[in-house]
Chain A
Amino acid sequence: MNRRLRWLFASPATLFVILAMVFPILYTVRLSFQSWSGSLTRAPRWVGLDNYRTLLADGRFLDATARTVIFTVGAVAVELVLGLAVALLLERPFRGRGLARTVILLPLLATPVAIGLAWLLMLNPTVGPVNSLITGLGLPAQPWLSSTHSVLPTLMLIDVWQWTPMMTLLCLAGLATLPAETYEAAAVDGAGAWQRFRRITVPLLGPTMTAAVLLRSIDALKTFDIIYAMTGGGPVYQSETLNIYGYITGFEQFQFGRAAAIVVVFFLIVLVFAIVLAKLNSRWGVVR
């Protein structure tokens, strides 16, 4: 067969990739070197590295970068531990296990913006039911999303609430593939429950867990909808992640050049996360 023909067969997919991915990325990179207010009658102005220089001197940008990483690492770590714990519980046979497995997945199925708005009502500090409940128990009312101190932990809590089920699901799938013989052999040799968990489950589940962490981390890094719907990045930028800052800079402040620079930096961060986790994954793969 003509060797060139294979390029022809691949061309629709190649064309799609170029149009839908390569072009927007290159366009964004170019835009990040320009100053543009979104008007076609006022052409974009070439400003070189100005947008990047401004960002590096911008405390709000640096804070948003740190916050994005804190949010991701914090939420995903809790989700991993809780997800694994719940998966271990659900793996044992008990009455109503099917029902429990279904119920626990429910948060995963809801739309993030709808979840955000529902939590927003529940956590309303003055008229919300959560504060009514805790003051009813004699505890002090909490400002939740209104306080600069508690807003990020509250958002992480909601992320944990929504995404722990996904970790559970992935861990359950991983647990199902573990060989029963190993456990039996270990039990015969007198290994206790903790030893079996520490020496067998964790190492064998390693690849599954790194894959789960990789997927979830990239997802958490780009969290936008739930934060935007609930706080819009406030109060005083204290829940502003890079995505929110980029959106506000572009679509509320009409500084598309600077917004593009933020997106480029964000892209690099995702890239670093992905590479590190992929490396970990391949190492675990060798162990297996």
Chain B
Amino acid sequence: MRRATPVLSALLCTALVAASAGCGNSGSSSDSADGGVLNLVTANHPWTEAVKSLGLLDEYQKATGTKVSIESFAEDQLTQQLTVKLNAPNSEIDVVMYRPPQEGRQFVLNGWLVELADLTKDGAFDWADFQDGPRGTVTIDNKVYGAPIVTEREILYYRKSLLRQKGIEVPKSLDDLVAAAQKLDDKPGGVAGFIARGKQANAVTQFSSYLYGYGGDFIKDGKSAINTPEAIKAFDVYGSLLRDYGPRPADATLQMNWPEALAVFVQGKAAMYTDADSIVAGMLDKQKSKITDDLGFAPFPAGPAGARPYQVASWALGVSAKAPHAAAAKRFISWIASKDNVLKLQQKAVPGPRLSAWSSADGTKGFPAEYVAALNATMKLTTTDHDRPQVVGVARSREIVGSVIVASIQGKDVAAAAAAADKDLTEFLKTDGK
């Protein structure tokens, strides 16, 4: 008992910290920070590193007199930090870097972000130059809440030499992918035919492109759609790829998020890998990767409903609803996400949101030519603007969908798992955001 009390209070204090972030009056927004200081909260992300190394903030201060101060956090901690900071009534924060697919709806529901309508109407900003998918990702109920800064698509990574040895063409359809995985799978040689994420919630985003390819989606017309024949087919294909042609021992992939799957691939222990294009740096680094010179890239294979991979804004900049300098914050965003700056950032290998940067020679020289070709081909497809269920409680919805992926990998009854998850998702949708 004597021990129990401090133990518990430590736990409770954690909850308290999140809760007690604000007590006081709500702050008011003044219009301009020119000559003042603008506060920007970001993730420790290559985008932030590139902004710093290019000296963009100094440049902005010289041009406008506004100093931009950055506070950055590890990606995992950023959400918690923002939860506290955006709640605080006398918040100092003007601009936040956030993950629209994961927390966009939560932030908007909580009233933490303002609409950026003026930005999208600004001709010089050229909203149409942003890729289709990412524009959709930052739009909720026809209102735009963020400017995309980093984008992501699912692509197919493969080992050129292995495909060549077996005389296999680069898979163009999901059927081709399954056939190729079967031929490439070399269990005695220790090389799996295929690898991808198998960890319950983490796998959902990379499974999404399979789902769309078979004509399914997570939610249709506000109702769970994970028990449709299309969805069940997609669950079945994804799971059996990992079960039959994935790395050994069985179930090895169940705890694999992208770092673990990537490790298997760069160790040369898998022939093909579908995941986000943003993780390419780990494959190109010769210190970490054995396959740098053998790496092939292709657009995500087409399913019966066509090639419909996700293309999302994985990160965006938004303006805090309590920003002391809201107008100046919007001016800064329109500057940092301008054509010129996106081009500069992309040269530092940050995959940007603008079509103009991807079609220019300058904007693509930081990447391998085949990779750029695969990405440009993806951008011409009818991509999907979300890679996970579009709900407020994303984490819970991912768990539900992920349970079917896991059941499929384990070789359990996929239809039964999908029916059970469908019930959970339907139940969840009733209370989500309420």
Contacts and interface: CB of A to CB of B under 8 A. Distances in A.
Interface in B76-104: 80, 83, 87, 89
Nearest to A269: B4
A148 to B, nearest CB: 7
Contact of A235 (B12, B251, B393): B251
A215 interface: yes
A170 interface: no
A42 B110 contact: yes
Contacts of B395: 248, 252-253
B174 to A, nearest CB: 24
B410 A271 contact: no
Interface stretch (A77-85, A122-130, A188-196): A122-130
Contact of B7 (A31, A248, A270): A270
Nearest to B21: A40
Contacts of A203: none
A133 interface: no
A42 B256 CA distance: 37
A109 B163 CA distance: 49
B12 A27 contact: yes
A131 B11 CA distance: 36
Interface residues of B, number: 50
Given A146-B252, A236-B403, A275-B1, A126 B269 contact: yes
B110 A24 contact: no
A218 B2 CA distance: 11
Contacts of A234: 199-200, 254-255
B301 to A, nearest CB: 24
Nearest to B8: A267
B35 interface: no
A125 B249 contact: yes
Nearest to A151: B255
Nearest to A248: B395
Interface in A82-140: 124-127, 131, 140
Contacts of B87: 38-40
Given A25-B8, A148-B410, A236-B403, A141 B255 contact: no
Which of under 10, 10 to 19, 20 to 34, or 35 or more describes the interface residues of A?
Answer: 35 or more
Interface string B253-292: 1111000100110010100000000000000000000000
Nearest to B322: A41
B396 interface: yes
A124 B12 CA distance: 34
Contact of B250 (A31, A143, A246, A259): A143
Interface string B7-50: 11101110110110110000000000000000000000000000
Given A38-B83, A263-B12, A146 B254 contact: yes
Given A38-B18, A146-B252, A124 B260 contact: yes
Given A235-B199, A235-B255, A270-B4, A20 B13 contact: yes
Given A218-B3, A271-B4, A143 B251 contact: yes
Interface in A196-229: 214-215, 218, 222
B251 A146 contact: yes
Contacts of A31: 15, 19
Contacts of A259: 15
A260 B14 CA distance: 11
Interface of B: 1, 3-9, 11-13, 15-16, 18-19, 21-22, 80, 83, 87, 89, 106, 109-112, 199-200, 247-256, 260, 263-264, 267, 269, 392-393, 395-396, 403, 406, 410
Which are the 8 A-B pairs with shortest beta-carbon distances?
A39-B110, A24-B12, A125-B252, A235-B254, A41-B111, A252-B395, A146-B255, A21-B9
Given A28-B15, A38-B87, A39-B87, 11 more contacts: A20-B13, A24-B16, A37-B392, A125-B252, A143-B250, A147-B250, A148-B254, A218-B4, A246-B11, A251-B80, A253-B393
14 contacts: A24-B13, A25-B9, A25-B12, A28-B12, A37-B392, A39-B112, A124-B263, A126-B248, A148-B410, A234-B254, A235-B200, A263-B8, A263-B11, A266-B8
